[in-house]
Structure 1
Amino acid sequence: MTDAINIFPQPVFPGGQPPAKRPDRAPATGTNFDALLRNKMAPQNIKFSRHAGERMQSRGITFNPQQLQRLESAIEQINLKGGRESLVMLDDTALVVSVKNDTVVTVVSKDQLKNNVFTNIDSAVIA
């Protein structure tokens, strides 16, 4: 019987030296996959259309960070349910929101709510 001889050739590197080993982890200053994933999964900042901005300014409407967080949460809930254009009631303010674009289309204060009709919405949420 004959034994098989296996020969494993050594790789040839340019310049005769093997390349330097890459570090096992991403550099501390770089962006890692986990951070990118969390950023994509987190609700995006809400945009306000020019019309909504004008309405807020003329009616003296402002939102604090907690209210904006509640609004983001409401938009996320509507999105999960398949809503596209929604009426969001936030404290004493009504907002019409384009869920697809994460954009507030218009804002109405409590004083202007009486006798107001909202059209082209498919959902409503109280935030």
Structure 2
Amino acid sequence: MGYRVVNGKVYPIGNFPQSNDLNQKSSKDTFSKFEEILKSEINKKDNFTISNHAAKRLEDRNIKLTEADISHINEGINMADEKGSKDSLILYKDVALVTSIKNRTIITAVNKSEAKGNVFTNIDSVVIL
């Protein structure tokens, strides 16, 4: 006959104490929290944020982004993220978007014509879509 030690107590094999409901509840709570975190991480890959500054610049320059545009920009953010970029310049159609890849946020937006002659600093990559 064999024995096992569980929490400092010796039990014959096959005669383990039953777990109480409190431990089962905390295990279920832990799983549901994990599930929530997992879902939020998966959803991060499907969306991004446009800062107030970028939204105002897009509006002032009469630039409207369609669902297809947003999808393409999101793909660009995902590509930069896969390569390990932190801050990136995304060139899409006639717009240059300075983007924080880490925060998945578009920081500012500039028309292509306005971007000429400007210097973009503190970026580590460029994504051309």
Partner of 2:72: 70
Partner of 2:12: none
Residue among 108, 117, 127 paired with 1:125: 127
In the TM superposition, what is the alpha-carbon distance from 1:99 to its structure 2 partner? 0.4
Q: Which has the higher helix share?
A: 2
Partner of 1:12: none
How do 1:1-127 and structure 2 match up within 5 A? 40-42=41-43, 43-127=45-129
Provide the rounded CA distance (Å) in 1 between the counterparts of 2:39 and 2:76.
19
Residue deviations 1:27-78, cap 9 Å, x none? xxxxxx6xx8566424242111111111111111111111111111110111
Secondary structure in 2 matching 1:89 = strand
TM-score by length of 2: 0.66
**Partner AA of 2:62 in structure 1:** G
Of structures 1 and 2, the larger Rg is shown by 1
Q: Which has the higher strand share?
A: 2
Secondary structure in 1 matching 2:106 = strand
Residue deviations 1:72-106, cap 9 Å, x none? 11101111110000000001110000001110000
**Partner AA of 2:42 in structure 1:** M
In the TM superposition, what is the alpha-carbon distance from 1:115 to its structure 2 partner? 1.0
Gaps of 5+ in 2: 1-34
Equivalent residues of 1:44, 1:102 under 8 A apart = no
Gaps of 5+ in 1: 1-32
Structure 1 runs (4+) deviating above 6 angstroms are none
TM-score by length of 1: 0.67
Partner of 1:30: none
Report sequence identity in percent: 38
Root-mean-square deviation (CA, aligned residues, Å) is 1.9
